[in-house]
Amino acid sequence: MTIAKHRRGVAATGQRSGVHSRVSRIRSLVEDRDLLALNRNRLADTAVRMFRENGFHNTSTRDIARAAGMSAGAMYQYVEQKEDLMVLILQQIIRTYEANLFPLATSGTPARQRFREAIRIYYRLLDDNNEKIDLFFHEYANLSRDTKRHITENDGRVFNALRQIVLQRVKEDGLGSVDTLFLTHNIVSMGQMWSLKRGLFRGVMTLDQYIAQQQACLEKFLTP
């Protein structure tokens, strides 16, 4: 996800995302951590659907509670305000990057292999999280400064992880003349193009075909 404008140097890959700390500060009256996680995920998943259908401003917490099979009172045991749900949704997205993409930057496998794998994983994560990412694109202007900061932080972490992999590939193959900043922006932009236009692309190709074409295109930048 690259919703906000990328800022170089924001949030190094290995750092713990600030959104996790933000989530830990959301008021809760539930002490059972497993139950808390279960129902917060349930509410976040419901909120994605409701916000996409009706818009953030036109959806009340009561609407979300009802759709999730809870009373409004029960819902307030897990979150305090509507934007808390957007933060929980953002955390869900970030966790997929932390589990699947970021570890590649420090993997011991050959850089050429990790380069291709990073593109495949990144594009698949964008596709898997498409509804959530689309929600943030449409509601970004309605979010608080704090939530926007967490989005920018995550964008920086994703970009830095991808660029680190690009740099390792360039170093391994002795390609010192490659503009790694441009190449990384290219990877991100092509991923976003699929995410935003996948309805059009799916009429002519699968995601696997799109990934293969982008990998082949990007390899041209890395041909001595």
For residues 38 and 32, is the Cβ–Cβ distance under 8 A?
no
Cβ-contact 50, 63 below 8 angstroms: yes
Q: In the chain, which stretches have pLDDT less than 50?
A: 3-12, 14
Structural domain count, the chain? 2
Express each pLDDT in 50-108 by its tens digit: 999 999 999 999 999 999 999 999 999 999 999 999 999 999 999 999 999 999 999 88
Whole-prediction pTM? 0.89
Residues 164 and 200 in one domain: yes
Q: Domain of 207?
A: 1-16+92-224
Query: CA dist 64 to 75, 82, 167, Å?
Result: 9, 9, 44
Q: Are residues 53 and 101 in the same domain?
A: no
How far apart CA 86 and CA 49 sit, in angstroms, is 12
